[in-house]
Structure 1
Amino acid sequence: MELLEDAQWNKRILSMGCERIDMFLQGGLHEGHLTELVGPSSSGKTQVCLRAASSVAKNYLDSVLFLDTCNSFSPKRIAQIVGQISDSDNKEVNKVIQRVMNSIVYHAVFDIYTLLNVLHRLEFNLRSQKGSQVRLLIVDSISSLISPILGGNGTNGASTCVHITAI
């Protein structure tokens, strides 16, 4: 019962910055939960990730960690999104864009070992309370890292997925 109460009262729901997606997700992304976006290539998964990063970075003082495996992160697109979701004049919008950009921590991650290294460093920093808190962690896209190690034997890839989600 204590865990249920904690989940209900102490976890935030993070808006994705898109009313329809938030409605579909019953309010937005649930803090502390894993949300997986699945779809064919060019279906907009990265755009949803960029929108979520922009919205969370704009609305919270904590940072967003964006791990990019496909070289798809676009600061220009983040600025466009922030401009769309801001209700201020141009001078204020530029300040908001600057704050959002400073809140998004970007890492290019092109192999599973680099991903694991970044996640282990993050875990260590969070446990030792070094630096700011991370409100949202985005890995875009984990499948491109795991596919090469799956090969013909799914057990290696499956155990790696279990290890990554356990971090």
Structure 2
Amino acid sequence: MPSRPPPRQTLTIADVREVLSVGCQVLDACLRGGVRCGDITEFVGESTAGKTQLCLQLLLTLQSQYSGGANALYIHTEGHYPGRRLQELAVVRRDALAAIGEPGSNNSFSIDHIFVEAIQTPDELLDFLKDRLPSLLHTSTKPLKLLIIDSIAALFRTEYDNTTAELGRRTKVLFQVASQLKKFAEREGAAVVIINQVVDFFEAADKDFQGQSQIGNLESMETSGRRVAPALGLAWSNCISTRIFLSRVGQVMTLDTKREGETAGSNKVEEPKSVVRRRMQVVFSPCLPPQSRNFVVTTLGLQGLRPAS
């Protein structure tokens, strides 16, 4: 009787997609190389968790990944565009590379190919994705590889009343926005990064279903000592491919003391001062295991902490 052939590993589309580095080897390792192109990745957390800082780091790191350059689009929905912080971060990171003799450091972290758009309402966002984004794609010969919305919750949290009809309309617009983003990501082979906020956690009647849908394999989502849940509920949770939770652990550490055996993942850490430890956790993803990494925010941006070996 003939023997069965050995099992073969199937290579899926998800296995061969490009990834965009977040600019830190330790955090990239948590994401298996970075943010995946062709998908919608959400980073969710409280206001001081480091979400916008991560966005700026992605915008800068993108340029160093493409020798011919690549475009990025940053959509901000509240406050002012953090252009000054972006410029400061570009200079500091460029100088850090030059200090260690990294080749091409003068050309890294360019801000020349970053488009910025201010959006105030959900309908305005939908119109932009349908009509103006296709036109933007034709204004440059460089590919648009990264689209960031910071943040999605800011658009939807006050636009609709708390009535059945209005909540239904909100869900409809959310699905339409998600559909446009998915089409763009798949068509252009680009990474779509969505920043989301958190709300206080309340026990649901259907606890098992709601918990699994929003927080994946985590027992709970906690930041700064309180339990939270992602804003926009289950409807939005079904629209994204990957959810990454950024939280404040609450422990203060001094970088140069290497507390608990942890060392910063960057080659250069200049601030011998106390900083708040934060954490990046994979909540759910079709291609990432449930894992986490601690990090700190310095003038160089987000820097992952390597655990003691």
Q: TM-score range by the shorter chain?
A: 0.7 to 0.9
Cα distance in 1, alignment partners of residues 27 and 108 from structure 2: 23
| 1:111 paired to 2:121 | yes
Match of 1:73 in 2: 81
Q: Are the aligned partners of 1:57 and 1:104 in contact in 2 as well (CA < 8 Å)?
A: no
Shift of 1:95: 5.3
Q: Distance in 1 between matches of 2:79 and 2:63?
A: 20
1:40 matched residue in structure 2: 46
> Normalising by the residue count of structure 1, what TM-score does the alignment of the two structures yield?
0.80
Aligned with 2:171 (options 141, 149, 158): 158
- TM superposition shift of 1:23: 1.8
Aligned Cα root-mean-square deviation (Å) = 2.3
Residue identity matched to 2:116: Y
Equivalent-residue separation in structure 2 for 1:17 and 1:38 (angstroms): 19
1:122 aligned onto 2:129: no
State the shift of 1:93 in Å: 5.9
Aligned positions, number: 157
What's the counterpart of residue 71 of structure 2?
63
Mapped to 2, the partners of 1:152 and 1:105 lie a distance apart of: 34
Other structure's SS at 2:72 match? strand
> Aligned runs of 1:126-137 on 2, under 5 Å?
126=137, 129-131=138-140, 132-137=142-147
Greater strand proportion: 2
- 1:73-94 CA-partner distances (Å, limit 9, x unpaired): 32222223223433237xx866
CA distance in 2, matches of 1:161, 1:138: 16
> Contact between 1:68 and 1:140, CA under 8 Å: does it hold in 2?
yes
Give the distance between the partners of 2:49 and 2:121, measured in 1 at CA.
Answer: 23
Structure with larger Rg: 2
Which structure features the higher share of helix residues?
A: 1
Runs of 5+ in structure 2 lacking a partner?
1-10, 181-309
Name the % identity: 27
